Structure formats: structure tokens, C-alpha cells
């Protein structure tokens, strides 16, 4: 059976809020009947073990399926009222079966997104039945992009920019009139070298450093939290949320430690401090949590159980440069982290650095990565961990 995998990428609106998550069901380099069967099996297993609803949360699900699986019977399962957008390639105009299935699915409430619009006769005809159109922005000049967006808007079609990898590109494409933006541009903000942290961000970074110092015990952590009234309040609200699954009502930090343990308590403090940073999209926090869990899961699967907390920290902190809008090395060098963690974060070296490289490849969901490995783990193991980490991050945020 051929290896297949599911990629997931966020699609954000002009305010950098998540509009949808695209789930990409890749068949590798040489699609054939076996890989279609493998995709069906992967969908079934993912539904049973993780659940597609948990992977996308309350957001729109944009499904990039093999065309053979564009039918009501083959679709992944979501809540009854969940918005689903089906992606179609620009070469299905002559495929009567696919067009018939699309018509039935649209009648039942699904929307359609035309992938990789190229302005030929087929694309133009397919755009007329689509709700969204995706454009690879690397393939066109500024003037051409602007004309394409204007023409599609006149037809009532929303336009999604593909391969948006930097905040600078986001602002440029936003001015051209694009409605949505796909990629990890929010993890690559405009950074001014030599810029110093503002007082409140410097204080926050110092707190992060202290909280994550291996020498910080419960007493010190309790003092840090108690000195910040807002943080204490947010922490108790979060811990008492039913999603935290604490059996009793927690009234103090001491109670929190009793029922959660130091590691779990530090996680909640990390999450709350990062979420308090202004001028960053919430998806940056979601992505950081996903990265943390992914690194931890791969560490466990590869036999690095005793070091899994370090892998978790590497994933969580891999976006700190984006949170603080400074080079990651400037941030990391201010923190009392071990040398192997610093090496992973700054240079992506060592075992933990290799996990980050694998992670970036999964985020890009490159169809040429069939041979992707991490130590003894193959694509199936890596893909399962990636989906499980995404589901975990969604649950952590919603909780």
C-alpha cells in the first residue's frame, strides 16, 4: 500500500484571523489506484483515532482531495452544520463524474474552491461555478494579479493568495485586493535588526526565561504568578475550565500545583503569557502549541522519552522571534536554555533541530516528501503525529 499523508495549512483573512484550514490529502509523486485506496484508509483511520472536527476546530474545512474521492460518500466527517469547501483542480472540466458529484455536493451545502487559477478557458469556466479561487502569486506580475483579482470579484468570487510566506508579502497582496491568504506568513513578521524590546515585552521575556529555567521550583513559580494579578486571574480561569479536567475547583496556585504538577502548570503559564502579547494573530499561538506537541510526540515515538520536555520547549519557542518581532537568536540568548536547545532553535542542528526541519516540511506539505524520515520514523508515523498535534492545539486553544 502506498504511503499517503495529510497536510494542514491555515488560511487567514485581511485581519490575520483564521478563516479556514486546508487539509491536503497527498498521494505522493505517482498517484495510482493503490494510493487512492490508501487515502480512503487514512481518512477512515483519522476519523476514528483523531476526528477531523478536532483538527480544524470551529473553522471552515477546505478539503484538497484526490478527484476520485470528491463525492458525498467519501468525504471526511464533520459536524452537520460545519462549513466545508471542496477544492477542485483546473483540469476537471471534461470529467463528467466529478462535475456531477460537485453539483450534488454544492446543492447539499458545500462550497467550491478552484485551485491554481491560470486564466485559461477551463479555469474561467470553472471559476463561474466556484465560490473561491486560489492563485499562485509567484507566477504573475503585480499588474496581472490586480486585474485577475478585479475580474474575479466582478463575478462574486473570493480570491485566495497561495504561497504567502512573509508578513511583507501579506501586506503587499492585501493592497492588491486579495480576500484570503494561505501560508505561514504570520510566523515571519517584518523584523528590524538592532531594534530593542519595549519595556513590557522585555519584562515578559524575562518572565518566560524564569518560568522555563530548569532551576525554577514551585515556590519561585508561585511568586512569579502571584506578583502578576492579571496572570493569576487568567490562570485560575483557564484551570477551572472543564476542558482542563481538574476534578475540583482550584482557588489558588498551590491548589493548581497539587492537581496539575509543575510541568503542566508551567505549560499553562507559558500559554497565557504568550497569548497576552499584543499585535500578534492568535494563529501564531495555535501554531506554536502544535509545534510543541509535534516535537514531543516525535521524541516519544523515536525513543527520546526522557528528553521529551526539551523537545516540547523547542517546538513552543520556535516562533518566539515572531512573537517579539526580533531575530530568534537575540531572543534565545536572553534565556537560560541548554546549549542543545539553543542550537536547535537558532541553527536547527542536533536531534531537536532535525525535528524542527521535519516540522517545517510538514507545514509546507510538499508533495515531494514521500521519503521524509526522522530517525527510525517514516512518513506515516510523522503524519499521524502532525495531525494529532494539530488536534491537541485546537483543543488547548478552545479550552
* 25 Cβ contact list (under 8 Å, min separation 6): 4, 6, 39, 42, 43, 63, 64, 65, 66, 69
User: CB-based burial of residue 253 (10 Å sphere; 0-12 exposed, 13-18 middle, 19+ buried)?
Assistant: buried
Average pLDDT over residues 67-79: 91
> Domains, the chain, ranges and CATH?
5-187 (3.20.20.450), 199-398 (1.10.3210.10)
Range in 10-19, 211-220, 380-389 the model is least confident about: 211-220
Confidence class for position 366, pLDDT limits 50, 70, 90: low
pLDDT of residue 1: 44
pLDDT of residue 211: 82
Residues 90, 114: contact at Cβ < 8 Å? yes
CA separation for the pair 28, 180 (Å, rounded): 27
pLDDT of residue 254: 79
pLDDT tens digits for range 175-225 = 999 999 999 999 999 876 666 676 677 778 878 888 887 788 888 888 878
3-class DSSP state for residue 58? coil
Cell numbers that stand for 337 in this block:
536554555
Residue scoring higher pLDDT (276 or 282): 282
Residue 234 CB coordination number (10 Å):
19
Average pLDDT of the chain to the nearest whole number: 88
Which of 123, 138, 130, 133 has its CA nearest to residue 105?
Answer: 130
Which of 7, 26, 21 has its CA nearest to residue 66?
Answer: 26
CA separation for the pair 165, 142 (Å, rounded): 17
Residues 203, 224: contact at Cβ < 8 Å? no
Best-predicted range by mean pLDDT (208-212, 253-257, 291-295): 291-295
User: Roughly what angle, to the nearest 10 degrees, separates helices 33-49 and 379-398?
Assistant: 40
Sign of CA dihedral 232, 238, 240, 246: negative
pLDDT of residue 76: 93
Please give the share of the chain, as a percent, with pLDDT higher than 70: 93
Confidence class for position 270, pLDDT limits 50, 70, 90: confident
Residue that the C-alpha cell 469547501 belongs to = 85
CA separation for the pair 186, 164 (Å, rounded): 9
* 143 Cβ contact list (under 8 Å, min separation 6): none
Amino acid at each position: 500500500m502506498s504511503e499517503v499523508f495529510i497536510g494542514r495549512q491555515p488560511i487567514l483573512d485581511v485581519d490575520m484571523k483564521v478563516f479556514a484550514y486546508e487539509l491536503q490529502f497527498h498521494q505522493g509523486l505517482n498517484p495510482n489506484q493503490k494510493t487512492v485506496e490508501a487515502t480512503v484508509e487514512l481518512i477512515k483511520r483519522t476519523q476514528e483515532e483523531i476526528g477531523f472536527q478536532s483538527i480544524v476546530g470551529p473553522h471552515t474545512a477546505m478539503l484538497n482531495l484526490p478527484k476520485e474521492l470528491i463525492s458525498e460518500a467519501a468525504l471526511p466527517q464533520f459536524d452537520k452544520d460545519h462549513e466545508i469547501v471542496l477544492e477542485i483542480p483546473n483540469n476537471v472540466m471534461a470529467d463528467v463524474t466529478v462535475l456531477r458529484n460537485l453539483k450534488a455536493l454544492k446543492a447539499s451545502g458545500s462550497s467550491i474552491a478552484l485551485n491554481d487559477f491560470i486564466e485559461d478557458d477551463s479555469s474561467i469556466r470553472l471559476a463561474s461555478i466556484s465560490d473561491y479561487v486560489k492563485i499562485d502569486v509567484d507566477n504573475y506580475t503585480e499588474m496581472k494579479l490586480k486585474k485577475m483579482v478585479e475580474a474575479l470579484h466582478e463575478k462574486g468570487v473570493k480570491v485566495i493568495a497561495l504561497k504567502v510566506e512573509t508578513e511583507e508579502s501579506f501586506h503587499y497582496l492585501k493592497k492588491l485586493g486579495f480576500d484570503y491568504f494561505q501560508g505561514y506568513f504570520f510566523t515571519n513578521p517584518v523584523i528590524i535588526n538592532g531594534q530593542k524590546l519595549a519595556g513590557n515585552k522585555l519584562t515578559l521575556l524575562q518572565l518566560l526565561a524564569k518560568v522555563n529555567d530548569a532551576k525554577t521550583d514551585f515556590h519561585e513559580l508561585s511568586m512569579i504568578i502571584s506578583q502578576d494579578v492579571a496572570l493569576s486571574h487568567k490562570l485560575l480561569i483557564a484551570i477551572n475550565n472543564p476542558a482542563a479536567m481538574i476534578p475540583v475547583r482550584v482557588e489558588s496556585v498551590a491548589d493548581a500545583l497539587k492537581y496539575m504538577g509543575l510541568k503542566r502548570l508551567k505549560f499553562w503559564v507559558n500559554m497565557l503569557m504568550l497569548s497576552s502579547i499584543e499585535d500578534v494573530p492568535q494563529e501564531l499561538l495555535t501554531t506554536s502549541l502544535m509545534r510543541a506537541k509535534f516535537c514531543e510526540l516525535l521524541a516519544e515515538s523515536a525513543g527520546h522519552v526522557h528528553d521529551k520536555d526539551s523537545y516540547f520547549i523547542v517546538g513552543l519557542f520556535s516562533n518566539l522571534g515572531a512573537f517579539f518581532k526580533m531575530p530568534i537568536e537575540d531572543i534565545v540568548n536572553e534565556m537560560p536554555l541548554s546549549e542543545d536547545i539553543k542550537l536547535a532553535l537558532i541553527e536547527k542542528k542536533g536531534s531537536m533541530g532535525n525535528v524542527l526541519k521535519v516540522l517545517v516540511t510538514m507545514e509546507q506539505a510538499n508533495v515531494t516528501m514521500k521519503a521524509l524520515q526522522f530517525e527510525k520514523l517514516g512518513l506515516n508515523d510523522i503524519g499521524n503525529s502532525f495531525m494529532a498535534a494539530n488536534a491537541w492545539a485546537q483543543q488547548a486553544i478552545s479550552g
